[in-house]
Amino acid sequence: MSDTRDPIRLHLDALFASCAPYGDGMIEVAYTDQHGRPNQARLFDVADIDGTVAFIKEKNVIPGVNVYVGAASRLPDTDPNKRCDTTAFYVATAIWVDIDDGAAAERAA
């Protein structure tokens, strides 16, 4: 049984739990090579949260590798082994805002 308090799982659930009407969508997990270039990715079914979490944890322990989760689900027929572009967009369940300082947070509020 998986730990439902796991921060990675909570993040994925927040993004993709409401994708039920689009349950055939994909989660993009992009990751860098050991030189910091985000040039690799793997896609997972939105229903495969366990597999997605396991993959993220596997990559996250490699020195120099950073992991990124696409904020929107990807179309079902997207190539599962490469980075996505705008043509792969399927549905978004969240709006992303880059808030790097206190003033930005106040403006966003």
pLDDT digit string (tens) for 19-54?
878 889 999 999 998 888 889 999 999 999 999 999
Give yes or no for a contact between 14 and 94, defined as CB atoms under 8 angstroms apart: yes
Please compute the mean of the pLDDT values over residues 46-67 and round it to a whole number.
94
Provide the 8-state DSSP code for 14: H
SS3 67: strand
Q: What is the pLDDT of residue 4?
A: 60
Residue 17's pLDDT band (cuts 50, 70, 90): confident
Half-sphere exposure in the Cβ direction for 71 (13 Å, CA): 8
Pairing of strands 72-74, 40-45: unpaired
Check the CA dihedral 97-20-44-82 and report its sign: negative
Residue 55's pLDDT band (cuts 50, 70, 90): very high
